[in-house]
């Protein structure tokens, strides 16, 4: 809470009397209920702020309630279009189970995010910002990793989404072998990371760039305009997803053989599709599916990115993430189930072409969910049009609505990831220029940085690889922030929480953080041998960036506003009740990734 100077002085005098009795408080405080409402007993237990009448802590505008954030976050359900094909082509028949389990795990984890977001009602930027405040007490270098990983995981939605939308448009207007769909100018060969990967300029890049620029212009109008725009897009975009999820069930187009037997995908020596077994190779594919699905299903935590822009953050924060989660449960359960039941796994259409040394020159071509355009996502819209038995005209309208749903996802990503950059700059993690806002309260420099980064990603020829590498960062963020839940419980046992998760959910979130690292260690390289290394390398780039900002520019001192949130201002001593456990947590996480990666069979 922002106090006037006299009032803050009275708090400090009171705390100076109470603190000596509280420093040795038992770590069992994590299991205790808060006592005395706003009671503040230590430097770590200052009450949270949260009403609309309080002054803003940042340059962002408090202009929306939870429904505004809900509609902005409604861009998360269309993320199923990004990876539904890749997950199906990886796992095979169990892919519908992957999606159901993944969204269930995401919903459980969101409860931890909702609690820690309520601790900092004046901050924007999302869960990674709130989690970083927990970790910075134990390591200045670990804390910014949370923010950085969340940003580079969430930001590529813009590149992947604009590429998919451009592909939908080009495939709808021109034949696959038309010159506009086949011309390409290769800039750089990246086959060392993944076979066939390159930086290139083609029609998809050009049209995708136009889409990104259009979304940027909308975002420049501030969160209120964005929320209103996404409400309109959300209603029109969610309609086709619901239709796609329901129509095949009503029309009887679901084939039981497309779901069972529930065994992973495998191929025989000739390349034909066969039922696999639950051996290490099978579990590796399953981990790969869970790894990639998490990028989409866990994404509704973006609803808490707008806490600093809620009119009443105390009540709006939990409602935003809870109802966004319910919407995602519906879409991520119905759509993959119906998609698989209608399309089926597919079969070998054209065998792979090998050279004299047995190296694959041209990969095999399959039908169904294994088709190349389904794996890439470019052909998903046409299949979904067939799923609702639409004629040519209605099918074209449905594809347009699916394009709008992808644009909605791009808007959600641009709004959330730019605010992560903005808040990270305000808090002293990232360069100062990112904290600039325009006259509408939109973080304009952060959005420009996002745009430049995504234009580079849009040049890449394989968007599934981009998704996989970025998801390495996302699951690292996920690990740090799920464990930030119990760290905040220990370090801030009596700080007011607008919504307090049951303790078993905090514990469940911590356990799932290791489960997610297992998915990452075992499953990331299913999408290319360099996927895990690329993600880890990009995550490490935050270290020199943070060192420059914090130690060179800021001389090792956080900005004043950040010190207040850390509760270490005015010479007050930090009380770290978690002891060695955050360090044990990090070591255990690294061990899980190493062991699970060694167990994988590719």
- Tell me, yes or no, whether 19 lies in a domain: no
> Per residue in 23-58, is it b (16+ CB within 10 Å) or e — as a string?
eebeeebbeeebeeeeebbbbbbbbbbbeeeeeebb
Q: Running DSSP on this structure, what letter comes out for residue 49?
A: P
Q: Number of structural domains, the chain?
A: 1
Q: Quick check: 490 and 578 in contact, CB under 8 A?
A: yes
CA distance 196 to 97: 30
- Tell me, yes or no, whether 542 lies in a domain: yes
CA dist 440 → 52, 61, 72, 218, 407 (Å)? 19, 8, 17, 11, 22
Read off the pLDDT band of 215 (50, 70, 90): confident
Q: Quick check: 60 and 419 in contact, CB under 8 A?
A: yes
- Tell me, yes or no, whether 13 lies in a domain: no
Angle subtended by helix axes 127-135 and 143-154, to nearest 10: 160
- Tell me, yes or no, whether 499 lies in a domain: yes
Q: Helices (DSSP H) in 174-202: which residue ranges?
A: 179-182
CA distance 293 to 297: 6
- Tell me, yes or no, whether 30 lies in a domain: no
Helix (H) or strand (E) holding 294, with range, is helix 280-297
Of 358 and 146, the structure prediction assigns the larger pLDDT to 146
Query: For the residues 400-414, what does the mean pLDDT come to?
Result: 85
Whether the predicted pLDDT of 33 surpasses 50? no
**CATH number, domain containing residue 344:** 1.20.1740.10
Q: Is 500 helix (H, G, I), strand (E, B) or coil?
A: coil
Containing structural domain, residue 103: 53-599
Q: Could you tell me the pTM of the whole model?
A: 0.81
- Tell me, yes or no, whether 8 lies in a domain: no
- Tell me, yes or no, whether 32 lies in a domain: no
CA distance 593 to 515: 10
Which of 125-129, 371-375, 556-560 comes out lowest in average pLDDT?
125-129
43-96 residue pLDDT tens = 344 344 333 344 344 455 666 778 877 876 777 888 898 899 899 989 999 999
Cβ neighbourhood burial of 225 (10 Å; 0-12, 13-18, 19+): middle
| Share above pLDDT 90 across residues of the chain, in percent, rounded to a whole number | 40
CA distance 87 to 99: 9
The size of the chain, in residues, is 602
| Share above pLDDT 70 across residues of the chain, in percent, rounded to a whole number | 84
- Tell me, yes or no, whether 17 lies in a domain: no
Q: Quick check: 138 and 576 in contact, CB under 8 A?
A: yes
């Amino acid at each position: 809470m922002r106090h006037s100077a006299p009032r803050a002085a009275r708090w400090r005098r009171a705390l100076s009397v109470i603190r000596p009795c509280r420093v040795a408080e038992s770590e069992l405080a994590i299991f205790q209920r808060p006592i005395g409402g706003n009671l503040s007993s230590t430097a770590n237990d200052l009450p949270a702020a949260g009403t609309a009448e309080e002054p803003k802590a940042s340059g962002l505008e408090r202009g929306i309630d939870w429904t505004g954030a809900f509609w902005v976050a409604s861009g998360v359900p269309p993320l199923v279009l990004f990876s539904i094909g890749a997950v199906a082509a990886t796992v095979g028949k169990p892919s519908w189970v992957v999606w159901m389990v993944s969204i269930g795990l995401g919903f459980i984890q969101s409860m931890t995010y909702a609690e820690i977001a309520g601790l900092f009602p004046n901050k924007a930027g999302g869960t990674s910002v709130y989690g970083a405040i927990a970790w910075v007490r134990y390591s200045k270098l670990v804390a910014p990793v949370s923010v950085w990983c969340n940003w580079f995981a969430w930001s590529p939605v813009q590149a992947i989404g604009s590429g998919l939308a451009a592909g939908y448009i080009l495939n709808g207007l021109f034949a696959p072998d038309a010159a506009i769909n086949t011309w390409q100018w290769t800039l750089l060969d990246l086959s060392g990371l993944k076979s066939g990967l390159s930086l290139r300029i083609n029609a998809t890049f050009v049209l995708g760039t136009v889409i990104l620029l259009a979304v940027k212009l909308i975002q420049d109008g501030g969160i209120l305009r964005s929320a209103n725009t996404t409400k309109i897009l959300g209603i029109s975009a969610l309609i086709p997803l619901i239709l796609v999820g329901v129509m095949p069930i009503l029309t009887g187009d679901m084939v039981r053989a497309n779901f069972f037997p529930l065994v992973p995908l495998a191929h025989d020596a000739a390349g034909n599709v066969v039922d696999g077994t639950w051996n290490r190779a099978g579990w590796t594919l399953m981990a790969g599916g869970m790894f990639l699905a998490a990028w989409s299903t866990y994404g509704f935590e973006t609803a808490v990115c707008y806490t600093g822009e809620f009119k009443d953050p105390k009540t709006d924060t939990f409602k935003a993430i809870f109802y966004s989660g319910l919407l995602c449960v519906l879409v991520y359960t119905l759509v993959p189930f119906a998609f698989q039941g209608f399309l089926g796994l597919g079969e070998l259409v054209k065998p792979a072409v090998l050279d004299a040394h047995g190296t694959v020159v041209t990969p095999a071509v399959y039908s169904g969910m294994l088709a190349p355009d389904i794996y890439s996502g470019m052909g998903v819209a046409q299949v979904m049009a067939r799923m609702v038995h639409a004629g040519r005209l209605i099918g074209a309208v449905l594809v347009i609505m699916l394009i709008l749903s992808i644009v909605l996802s791009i808007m959600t990503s641009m709004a959330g990831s730019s605010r992560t950059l903005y808040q990270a700059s305000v808090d002293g993690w990232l360069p100062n220029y990112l904290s600039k806002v325009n006259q509408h309260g939109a973080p304009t420099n952060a959005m420009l940085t996002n745009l430049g980064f995504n234009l580079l990603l849009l040049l890449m020829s394989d968007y599934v690889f981009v998704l996989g590498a970025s998801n390495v960062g996302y699951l690292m963020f996920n690990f740090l922030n799920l464990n930030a839940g119990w760290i905040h419980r220990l370090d801030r046992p009596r700080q007011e929480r607008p919504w307090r998760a049951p303790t078993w959910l905090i514990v469940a979130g911590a356990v799932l953080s290791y489960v997610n690292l297992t998915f990452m260690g075992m499953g990331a390289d299913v999408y290319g041998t360099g996927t895990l290394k690329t993600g880890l390398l990009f995550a490490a780039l935050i270290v020199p960036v943070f060192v420059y900002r914090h130690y060179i520019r800021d001389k090792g001192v956080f900005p004043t506003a950040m010190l207040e949130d850390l509760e270490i201002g005015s010479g007050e001593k930090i009380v770290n009740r978690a002891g060695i456990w955050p360090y044990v947590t990090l070591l255990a996480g690294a061990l899980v990734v190493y062991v699970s990666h060694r167990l994988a069979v590719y």
